[in-house]
Amino acid sequence: MKSLIKRTITLSLLSVNPLLFAQPVVLINTFSVEASKDAETLAYWESARDVLVEQPGYISTTLHRSLSADATYRYVNVANWESQKHFLDAISVMRNELPALDIEGVTADPNLYEVIRH
């Protein structure tokens, strides 16, 4: 009986506030970039970062550049968010404030991940 009550309380809390038990997510965004588009790509990334760091649920971000000139992905962005909902809300704000990434020779492939092992 006690476990049924605990389960009922937990379910009711989840229905009241889904963020209460939300799991953190990690954005991993890979960028294929022609060398001549580095400066333009970095300027866009910085503009996007400046919007996103101000949003609720933002934890951190790091941008990595490949040491290999022939790497498939010149840049990899890793960002941590408190929840998927926080991330999606932040992206909505960013899309309203910035034009879409539309630089010839640049493609991005953003995906959300959950941590499953440490």
Domains of the chain: 18-113 (3.30.70.100)
The mean pLDDT value for 100-113 works out to 95
Provide the pLDDT for residue 17: 55
The mean pLDDT value for 1-6 works out to 44
- pTM for the predicted model, two decimal places: 0.79
Q: 2 pLDDT exceeds 90?
A: no
Token pair for 61: 């971000």
Token pair for 13: 């809390």
Q: 39 pLDDT exceeds 90?
A: yes
CA distances from 55 to 13, 30, 51, 67 (A): 25, 22, 7, 31
Q: Where are any strands of DSSP class E within the chain? A: 25-33, 58-65, 75-81, 106-113
Q: How far apart are CA 36 and CA 28, in angstroms?
A: 23
